[in-house]
Structure 1
Amino acid sequence: MTDWPLYDAKNRFSAVVDAAVAGEPQRVTRRGKPAVVVVAVGEYERLRRLEKATAPGFAELLLSMPDGGDTLERPRVRPRHVEF
């Protein structure tokens, strides 16, 4: 993966895109820290499909929640004096 400082990536955007389309992701840095990665559309779509395939569905998330049972303790609440 090639690193591009932001100012170089802006000036040579066609080269960044050409390298990404050729199959090599391009990392753009801002102030020396990674900011974004430019990838080809096919690679992006492959990653999205993979993410969807491994992400749990809503029903799975609900079923995986703990039911409480005997493992949860009720919080201890002390009554306080209130004057009316």
Structure 2
Amino acid sequence: MARTWQLQEAKNRLSEVVDEALTHGPQIITRRGIETAIVLSYAEYQRLALSRVGISTFFRESPLAAAAEDLDLARDSSPPRPDIAL
């Protein structure tokens, strides 16, 4: 279970914050009552980092990928609009 630490308390008890992250999961650190950082174990970080998918893979595997084949991406060849006198 994530525990919330005030920044000053986390600085004073960093070793305990790290131990809690290793045994009980991510630890939330607040500054002036606003959640600003998280301490998590390296194993948890690796799990999150390895589960990331590249943007090209994301779009290629999207259910909307088949609909993209129907898009008309040809450039409009009509002449530009005439200048407007201001």
Distance 1:59 1:6 in 2: 38
Which 4+ runs in 1 deviate beyond 4 A?
A: 59-62
Distance 1:41 1:19 in 2: 13
Q: Classify 1:60/1:9 alpha carbon distance in 2 versus 1 (closer, same or farther; 3 Å).
A: closer
Distance 1:11 1:43 in 2: 24
Cα distance, 1:22 vs structure 2: 1.3
Equivalence for 1:26: 27
Distance 1:38 1:31 in 2: 17
The 3-state SS of whatever aligns with 1:7 is helix
Q: State whether structure 2 residue 72 is matched by structure 1 residue 69.
A: yes
Aligned residues: 78
Q: State whether structure 2 residue 18 is matched by structure 1 residue 10.
A: no
Identity over aligned pairs, percent? 33
Q: TM-score, normalization: structure 1? A: 0.68
Structure 2 alignment gaps of length 5 or more: none
Structure 1 alignment gaps of length 5 or more: none
Equivalence for 1:38: 39
Q: TM-score, normalization: structure 2? A: 0.67
Q: State whether structure 2 residue 78 is matched by structure 1 residue 80.
A: no
